[in-house]
Amino acid sequence: MIKNFIKRISILKRKILYKKISYSYGGVDLLVNYIFKNKKKGLYIDVGAQHPVSNNNTYLLYERGWRGINIDLDIENIKLHNLARQNDLNLCEAISSKTEEIDMYYYHDKSPINTVEKIVADSQKTKFKQIKKIKTTTLNKILDANDIKHINYLNIDVEGHEIHVLKGLDLTKHKPDVISVEYLDLAMKKLEFKNNNIDNVLNSTLYKYMIQNNYSLVNWNHADLIFVSDSFRD
């Protein structure tokens, strides 16, 4: 009787101690949180931040005391960030490889599938409502404007425009320790992670660009590729 009671207490203790809270869609925040388990405070940049809490890869770090910059091209998302993430810098910007005017395929306010990539918009089952003209900027300009030299964690989720965001960042100057990037494999008949194909990743422009810039792929979670700077590896 006493032995069973002790076992139940042990089980309850483990339920409490080993409970994991994740805000990401696929648990990327748990992986990133583990990588930085010994770093109490750090700096993140979240490009395509969308909602400040739900399906968010940086909110878990924010709760731990990290701070950073959240960027989204939808002003309604930034208004939510200003409410929920008041200790962060929240910017309404479209990030790309250079400053120019481009088309945005708009579905509705706060839509996670608003995109500047026509091929991505055409792949969606839902038809976009309109095309809006927007002006882009680069991560280099934003980091220089805020005197940021080094990034611990960079997250990019911009519906197919990820490689352009990366090309607007000087990876030799800033060199984030960890980068998670959404990889949309439009060769799939259906975008589900059970259909993932590692060969498509290894042959992608995105993967090759990261390898050329001294990053290693260390994990793949749903549609998110997690790269670590070779200089950050043990």
Lowest mean pLDDT among 64-73, 114-123, 176-185: 114-123
Identify the band that residue 178 occupies on the pLDDT scale cut at 50, 70 and 90.
very high
Q: What is the pLDDT of residue 224?
A: 96
Pairing of strands 178-182, 215-221: unpaired
Residue 188 has pLDDT above 80, yes or no: no
Identify the band that residue 5 occupies on the pLDDT scale cut at 50, 70 and 90.
confident
Q: What is the pLDDT of residue 123?
A: 86
Instruction: Read off the tokens for 176.
Output: 């984030």
What does the buried/exposed string (b/e) look like for 16-41 if buried means 16 or more CB atoms within 10 Å of the residue's CB? eeeeeebbbbbbbbbbbbebbeeeee
Percent of the chain with pLDDT over 70: 100
Q: What is the DSSP letter of 21?
A: -
Residue 127 has pLDDT above 80, yes or no: yes
Region 78-87: what's the mean pLDDT? 97
What predicted TM-score, i.e. pTM, was given to this entire model?
0.92
Give which of 81, 83, 78, 82 is closest to 94, Cα–Cα. Answer: 78
Structural domain 22-93+139-229, CATH architecture: 3-Layer(aba) Sandwich (3.40)
Identify the band that residue 30 occupies on the pLDDT scale cut at 50, 70 and 90.
very high
pLDDT tens digit sequence for 31-49: 999 999 999 999 999 999 9
DSSP structure string for 67-83: EEEEEES-HHHHHHHHH
Residue 139: which residues within 8 A CB-CB, separation 6 or more?
45, 47, 95, 165, 168, 169, 174
Q: What is the DSSP letter of 178?
A: E
Domain edges within the chain: 22-93+139-229
pLDDT tens digit sequence for 111-121: 888 998 888 88
Q: Taking the CA atoms of 26, 32, 34 and 39 in sequence, report the sign of the dihedral they define.
A: negative
Identify the band that residue 126 occupies on the pLDDT scale cut at 50, 70 and 90.
confident
Region 163-176: what's the mean pLDDT? 96
